[in-house]
Structure 1
C-alpha cells in the first residue's frame, strides 16, 4: 500500500497542522544490520525516508547501521544523544538495555526501542505482530509441503523469535496434522553465508518450505537453486527467487514514525508499548506468487482476513507447551505483556530452546 493511503488511513493527512519551528527536529536511528540487508534494517530505513518525505525540512534525520548489540550500541546511542538528536529510535532487541541507560542519562531526549519491553518517562517501545504473518506462513507451508517437513531459520532465541516459531507451527498444524518443523539457529540477524548454510542444512534434512527470521534473501536464493519454496522476511524479496518465493511478510514502519514524530512536535508524546499488525496496515503480504495453487491462495486470503478483522487471534487457548503444561487456558488470548515473554515451544515441536 502506498505511503499516502496509509497516512490517510491513520488520519495523518486530513486536517493535519504542522508545528512550525525555527530548527528542525533532529531524529536518530540505530540499525543492527546494513540498510542494504533487504530485510529488517532496510525497512526501518524506508520508514526513515518516509518520515523525511512527509515532514520535509521540519526534520533532520541521521542513522548508524551495522551496530552490534551490546557495548557498541550504548556508545552509538550516546553519541547520537550528544550530537543533539531530540528523538532516537533503536531498532533491535539487543539494544534494549543500552537504550534504557541512555534514556536515564539524557532525560530531555525522547527514545523509542523496537521489540523491547522496558519503558520509562522518556522511553517507549514498539513492535509488530509478526506472529500474525508467521501464522499465515505456517498455514501456507503446511499446505505446500510435500515432505510434511518445514524449516525455520532462527536468529537468536529471544521471545519474538520463539513466539514466531510457535505461530508457524500452529498455523501449519491447523491444516496438516502430520507436519514436522526443523529449526536451525544461525545466531545472527544478517550474514548471507551463515543463512545459506542454515538453509541448505534444513533442505538436506527433507525440508521443502523455508521460513526465516534472518534478514538477507540468501535462504530464498538457496531454495530457488534447489527447486524448493520459501517465504521472504521483512521486505519484499520476490525478485531474488521468482519461482521459490511464496510471499514476503513485509514491515512498513513509516506511518508509525510519522505519527510519533508528530506527537513529539506537538507535545503529546508519552511512553507506550505499541504493537502494529495487519489491522494497522503495518504488516502486509507482499508479492503473493501467482504460481500458487488456487486452494492455497484462497486459504491465505481467508486466514489474513480473519486475523485482520480480529475474528481470529493465533495465541488463543487452550495451548500446551511441548512439556505438556497448559500455558494458555481455554478462551484466553495472550496479552501483549504475555506475548513479550513467551519462552516455551508449543506442543508438537520436538526441539529444545537454546539457553
Structure 2
C-alpha cells in the first residue's frame, strides 16, 4: 500500500512506535541473522500488517535458530520511519523489511549509511545495491473478488472504500469493477476516498454511507476490519482484503483476497544467510503464490466458489489477464478508450494507471 511521501507525511496515523522482539535460540556456531520489520499500523487480528507479521512468523518457523526477528509497529511514514529504520540498522539487524510505500525514501536514505545491511522496500519502486523492492499483483485478486461480488449482489451496485488515489489502489478498483461486470455488464461501483490507510471510525462511516445509497456489497483498500464489521452490522456483504476476516464478519464475508508474504520473506532471508542476496524487483501474483482467494462465506454457493477458483487457475496459468480487452474495447468512466479491443496493458502501463474504468461512480481525488 503506498502513496507519495508528501501525502504520507500529511495523512499518517501517528501511533507511538512499539518495539517487539521474538528471539530464537542462538545457533551453536554463530550468531543468528537479525531481521527487522517495520509496520505502518498496529498488529491487528486481520489486515495489511497482520499479513506481514504472519510472513515474519513464517520466517521463524522455516529457519528456526538461524534467525532472530524484531518488529516495530505503528510507525508513521516520514521522519519517524527513518529514525526507526536507522535504529534497527545500528542494532545489528542485517536484513530489514519496510512494509509501506511511505518508507521508501527513508529506507534509501538509511541504506546509504549502512552498505552492509540488506533492505527490502515493500511496495517501493526505487532500488539501490543494498535495497530491493517487492510488491504483489493485488489487482488479480480484486478481479476475482469482483466476479464473486457480481454473482452475489442483488442490486448490481457495489461500494468501494479506498485509501489514496495512487496506481495500486486504482488497479484494484478497476479490476474489481471489470470482474464484477464480466458477470453482470450493468453492475456499478460507488467509490469513496478517505485519504488515509488506517482510520477505523472513518472506514466504518464510509461503508455505512454506501449502504445508505443502495449498495449491498462492499470492497475496500484500507488497513482495518472496520468495513467488514459494518457490513456484518447492517446485514450486507463484503470482500475481505489482506486477510480472512470471517472472525469479524461471519455472515458478511463473501471471500478474502489474501496476501502471502511468508514464502518471499523466507527466500530473501535464506539468500542473506547463504550470501546469494542481490538487489532487484519482484512483482508476484497468483502464479507466484503471493495472492490467494480463500475464506468463502457460508452464503456463497458452491457454483460461485468453483467459478472464482477456476478463474484463479486461469490467471495463474496466464490464460486470463484482468486488463485485457477480450471483447469490446475497455473505456474509462468518461468514455475514453483505455484498452483497445484484443489488447492488454503492459506492466508499465498498469503501474502508471491513472484512470477509473467505466462503471465506477466517482472521480480520482487530487
Relative to the length of structure 2, the TM-score reads: 0.87
User: CA, structure 1 residues 221+254, in 2 after alignment: closer, same or farther (shift >3 Å)?
Assistant: same
**Mapped pair 1:226 → 2:234:** yes
For 1:56, the equivalent position in structure 2 comes to 64
For 1:100, the equivalent position in structure 2 comes to 108
For 1:161, the equivalent position in structure 2 comes to 169
The structure 2 residue matched to 1:79, chosen from 82, 87, 92, is 87
**Mapped pair 1:280 → 2:296:** no
For 1:3, the equivalent position in structure 2 comes to none
Distance 1:303 1:334 in 2: 19
- Aligned pairs for 1:15-164 (under 5 A) are 22-36=30-44, 38-164=46-172
CA contact (8 A) 1:31 1:67 kept: yes
Give the match's secondary structure for 2:80: helix
The structure 2 residue matched to 1:246, chosen from 243, 248, 254, is 254
Which runs of 5 or more residues in structure 2 are unaligned?
1-26
Distance 1:301 1:206 in 2: 28
CA deviation after TM superposition for structure 1 residue 37, in Å: 5.1
CA deviation after TM superposition for structure 1 residue 295, in Å: 3.6
User: CA, structure 1 residues 105+323, in 2 after alignment: closer, same or farther (shift >3 Å)?
Assistant: farther
**Mapped pair 1:352 → 2:363:** yes
- Aligned pairs for 1:160-179 (under 5 A) are 160-179=168-187
- Which contiguous aligned blocks of 4+ residues in structure 1 show a shift greater than 6 angstroms? none
Distance 1:298 1:257 in 2: 30
Residues 133-177 of structure 1: CA distance to partner in whole angstroms, max 9, x if unpaired?
100111111221122210111011221111100101111111112
The structure 2 residue matched to 1:306, chosen from 294, 298, 314, is 314
For 2:332, the equivalent position in structure 1 comes to 321
Once the two structures are overlaid, the 10-residue window that deviates more, 261-270 or 329-338, is 329-338
CA contact (8 A) 2:293 2:309 kept: no
CA deviation after TM superposition for structure 1 residue 238, in Å: 0.9
User: CA, structure 1 residues 89+179, in 2 after alignment: closer, same or farther (shift >3 Å)?
Assistant: same
Distance 1:330 1:115 in 2: 30
For 2:348, the equivalent position in structure 1 comes to 337
User: CA, structure 1 residues 52+354, in 2 after alignment: closer, same or farther (shift >3 Å)?
Assistant: same
Which runs of 5 or more residues in structure 1 are unaligned?
1-18
User: CA, structure 1 residues 341+300, in 2 after alignment: closer, same or farther (shift >3 Å)?
Assistant: same
Once the two structures are overlaid, the 10-residue window that deviates more, 315-324 or 217-226, is 315-324
User: CA, structure 1 residues 267+319, in 2 after alignment: closer, same or farther (shift >3 Å)?
Assistant: farther
For 1:14, the equivalent position in structure 2 comes to none
For 1:11, the equivalent position in structure 2 comes to none
Distance 2:219 2:283 in 1: 22
CA deviation after TM superposition for structure 1 residue 124, in Å: 0.8
CA deviation after TM superposition for structure 1 residue 92, in Å: 0.8
For 1:263, the equivalent position in structure 2 comes to 271
Distance 2:252 2:330 in 1: 32
Distance 1:116 1:336 in 2: 15
For 2:223, the equivalent position in structure 1 comes to 215
CA contact (8 A) 2:251 2:298 kept: no
Q: How many residues are treated as equivalent by the alignment?
A: 337
CA deviation after TM superposition for structure 1 residue 331, in Å: 4.5
Give the match's secondary structure for 1:278: coil
The RMSD of aligned alpha carbons is 1.9
